[in-house]
Amino acid sequence: MDMLSQLGFWSMVSGATLVVKCVLLLLGAMSLGSWTIIFFKWIQLVGVRRRAVRDFDEFEATADLAKGVEVLRNAKDSPLYPIAFGALSEMRQLEKSSLHPSLLFRVSGENLHRILQQGVSKQLGQLASTLSFLGTCANAAPFIGLFGTVWGIMHSFHSIGLQKTAALAAVAPGISEALVATAIGLGVAIPAAIAYNAFLGLLNGIETELKAFAGSFLNRAQRELPWMQGGKTRKE
């Protein structure tokens, strides 16, 4: 027991086998990467959700679609404007087309809906980037640590055979060094799993706001633009 109490973390790491050290180095890199992602992704997602709510409220408060788009264009780093910009580009193409009014009415609604959904998906895809790394850390880190532990314990048992003694003082240091890998693996996985689930919750909230905006934009376009109303031409 006295020997165990004297074993410090760094002494156990320095006394580990080369394979266990490589495992610990890998887990350390995973931990550094995951905490970096957690820090920056938290700032990004919280900011995007706050701006999405603010910009959607301001868009809804405007009198018409043109003013609403102008508000989004002037908003700083609006997550809604890229969606609106793609829809506006499609609307300009449709307005310049030579389709019959009845066909234009049917095609315009379908095209705008598809463009808006593509814009929402693109925004969510950009926001979800690097989250897969957190999921990988949450799932793989415990098993990587377990591999280091198993390897270290195998090495300890091999040392027992060479020393021809099973005394606790002889095997405890090696087993302690091996168990460090499992502890560090869990230390990497737990924060990554918590952050991953928290970020999924934030993304779901952002997705709700983006889809609400896309639906509102489409409804306004169909109400306000004559050529998107059935039975009317562009000139009416």
- Cβ distance 228 to 141 under 8 Å? no
Percent of the chain residues past pLDDT 70, beyond the cut:
72
Banded model confidence at residue 59, pLDDT cuts 50, 70, 90 = very high
The dihedral through the CA atoms of 219, 214, 70, 203 has a sign that is: positive
Q: In the chain, what are the helix, strand and coil shares in percent, each to the nearest 5?
A: 85, 0, 15
Banded model confidence at residue 19, pLDDT cuts 50, 70, 90 = confident
Distance in angstroms (rounded) separating the CA atoms of residues 73 and 66: 11
The pLDDT tens digits for 122-139 are 999 999 989 999 999 999
Distance in angstroms (rounded) separating the CA atoms of residues 184 and 28: 8
Between 88 and 142, the higher pLDDT residue: 142
- Report pLDDT for 65: 87
160 Cβ contact partners less than 8 Å away, ≥ 6 residues apart: 166, 170, 171
Count: domains in the chain: 1
> How far is CA 151 from each of CA 129, 186, 204, 217, rounded to the nearest angstrom?
34, 17, 41, 59
* 178 is a domain residue: yes
CA angle, 42 then 46 then 48, to 5°: 120
- Structural domain range at position 166: 12-228
- Report pLDDT for 10: 60
- Cβ distance 119 to 82 under 8 Å? yes
* 234 is a domain residue: no
The pLDDT tens digits for 65-81 are 889 989 999 988 899 99
The pLDDT tens digits for 193-236 are 999 999 999 999 999 999 999 999 988 888 876 655 554 444 44
Mean pLDDT in residue range 147-167: 69
Place of tokens 């006394």: 15
Q: 149-167: string of b/e by CB count within 10 Å (b at 16+)?
A: bebbbebbeeeeeeeeeee
- Cβ distance 149 to 179 under 8 Å? yes
Ramachandran category for residue 164: left, alpha or beta (phi over 0 → left; psi -120 to 50 → alpha): left
Q: Is 141 a residue whose pLDDT tops 70?
A: yes
- Cβ distance 59 to 72 under 8 Å? yes
